[in-house]
Amino acid sequence: MNSVYRVNGPRVIFENIEGELILVHMERGTYYSTDEIGAELWSLIEAQSSVSDMCDVLASRYDAQPTEIADAVARFLARLMEEDLVAVGESPGAPRTTVPPVMGGKRPFSPPALQSYRDMQDMLSLDPIHDVEAAGWPVPRSDDEPSVAPAT
């Protein structure tokens, strides 16, 4: 529960566009969209929150049993791992995510879903990947490198 995750940059790019979080895995050419709760979890991943902090944040905002939330978070993270969008990171002494006070009542909870699309795979994955630091963007040679997660 205290593990943290990191975004698999730079091969994973993402942005919240008009309220929808869109992600692209540039090497696989797969793209994704997720819902509000998924986007919230993604922000927490970016902030290097621990899994238990993620659950606490969601529990403070959504109306659901802690076990239901923990289960949904674990499944969402597993899905992100499966799609190579995040990796388990190390964050010695990561600060606890502060839970902002909730305005109004708790919102209804539904497990976050990640929709994946592969119809543009051939086109998106054609971006040449180069292993040198040509323009200030590090490309890790392997997945076991220490967290580089550049701010994207």
Partner 1 sequence: MVDAVHGGPRTSIRVSTIIPCHNGERYIDATIRSVLHQGCEGLEIIVVDDGSTDRSPELVRAFGDAVRYVRQPQGGASRARNRGIELATGQAFAFLDADDLWPEGALSRMVAKLESDPSIGMVVGQMEQFVSPELPAAEHLSFRFSPDAVPARMCGTVLVRRAEFERVGGFAPELASGEFIDWLARAEHLGVQTVAIDTVVLRRRLHLSNHGVVRRDARQDYLRVVKAALDRKRATAPRLDPA
- Classified as helix, coil or strand, 108 is strand
Only segment of 35-43, 52-60, 82-90, 131-139 that touches partner 1 (CB under 8 A):
131-139
Contact 32, 116 (CB under 8 A): yes
Q: Which is nearer to partner 1, 131 or 143 (CB)?
A: 131
Which of residues 101, 131, 146, 151 is near partner 1 by CB under 8 A? Answer: 131
Pairing of strands 86-89, 4-7: antiparallel
Indicate whether 124 belongs to the interface with partner 1 (CB under 8 A): yes
Q: Binding partner 1 by CB under 8 A: which of 4, 6, 7, 24?
A: 24
d(CA 61, CA 105): 8
Among 100, 122, 144, 146, binds partner 1 (CB under 8 A): 122
Rounded Cα distance, 64 and 48, in Å: 23
